[in-house]
Amino acid sequence: MRLAIIGGGGIGQVYKTGESNPHEVKVYDTDPALSDFATFDEFMAGDRPKHYIIATPNFTHSFYVEKILSADPYAHIFVEKPGLRNVQEWITYMPNITMVKNNLYRLNVEDLKPRFSGRSCRITWHENNRVPCPGGWFTQKDKAFGGVGQDLMPHLLHFYFYIFGYEGRLVSVKKEQRTDKILPSKYGSFDPSGIFNVETFAELTFKHKDFEVILSADWDAPVEKRRIENDDDKWSFQLCPEIAYVRMLNSRQFTNDYVNHTLMDVKVHQVLDILK
C-alpha cells in the first residue's frame, strides 16, 4: 500500500487517479460515496502505507494528524495547505509531516531560480470568478482560517521561498474582501444560507537588501493572471498539472530533502499565521 488518502473530494481525486496503480491507493471520506471504508478505524487497519495524505477541509487537518500518529507513530503524512491550526502545532508534529508543495514539482520549476533570483519581482495568482464553493467551508473563517490568503497564497510562498530563500523581511500585509457579487462557476454557486466572511484578495511585500518581492493572490480579479515577473522576464503558469502531484508523491523529500522542507514549511506557516 503506497498511499492512504483522507478526503476524497476535489484534490483527493487528483491524488487517487494520478497514481499509476489504483489498487495501491485507499481513501477515507465521511461521504460514503467517496470512501473505501465505513469507518476511520477500518481505514487505518491493515498494512501501513508509505504515505498518508490529508486532503480534508482545513479545520480537520489537525484532528487527522493526531489520529494517524496515535495509531501509526512513524507515519509520514503530507498535509494539504494551509497546514495545521498554527505554526506551534506544526512544529510539534514536524518530524512526521510535510506540507504539500505541488507547485515545486512542476516539470520546469528549476528554470525559475536563475531567471528571477536577486531582482525585484511580482508573483501573482489572480483568478476571475473562482471563489471555491462560496458559502461553504472554504469561505468560513473558522473552517478555512481565511480566504485566498490561506488558499492560493501558500503556493506563491512556495515559489517565493524556493526562488529567493529566507532573507526577505515581510514589510506589508494587505487583505480585503473585494467581491460582493458571485456568479455561478465550475467552482460552485453561491449558497445564500452559507457563510462568506473571508478575504478574496491578499498581498504581501517582502523586502530584501536591494529589491523587493510582491506576492498577490485574488479569487476574483477583473483579469486572470498567473505569473512570476520582473522588468526583464516573465513566466506564466497554468493550474498545477497532475504530473506535479505524482512527482511530489514519488519524491524522497522525507529523507533526502528533509531539512529544506521543514524549514520552508515553518516559514510558510509563520506567514500564513500572520494572514489569519
Report the amino acid identity of residue 117: S
Residue with cell 516573465: 234
Kindly state whether residue 152 participates in binding ligand NAD, applying the rule CB under 6 A.
no
Closest approach of ligand NAD to the CB of residue 64, in Å: 7
Evaluate whether 79 touches 54 at the Cβ level (below 8 Å): yes
- Nearest Cα to 272, choosing from 111, 189, 113, 161? 161
Report the amino acid identity of residue 192: P
Kindly state whether residue 241 participates in binding ligand NAD, applying the rule CB under 6 A.
no
What residues between 85 and 124 interact with ligand NAD by CB under 6 A?
Answer: 100, 102
Report the amino acid identity of residue 86: N
Closer residue to ligand NAD (CB): 29 or 203? 29
Report the amino acid identity of residue 197: N
Dist CA 49 CA 86 (whole Å): 27
Q: Which stretch binds ligand NAD (CB under 6 A): 24-32, 91-99, 106-114, 206-214?
A: 24-32
Kindly state whether residue 60 participates in binding ligand NAD, applying the rule CB under 6 A.
yes
Q: Which stretch binds ligand NAD (CB under 6 A): 23-31, 43-51, 184-192, 219-227?
A: 23-31
Kindly state whether residue 31 participates in binding ligand NAD, applying the rule CB under 6 A.
yes
Kindly state whether residue 11 participates in binding ligand NAD, applying the rule CB under 6 A.
yes
What is the grid cell recorded at 196?
A: 462568506
Dist CA 108 CA 27 (whole Å): 30
Contacts to ligand NAD by CB under 6 A: 6-12, 29-31, 34, 55-58, 60, 80-81, 100, 102, 151, 240
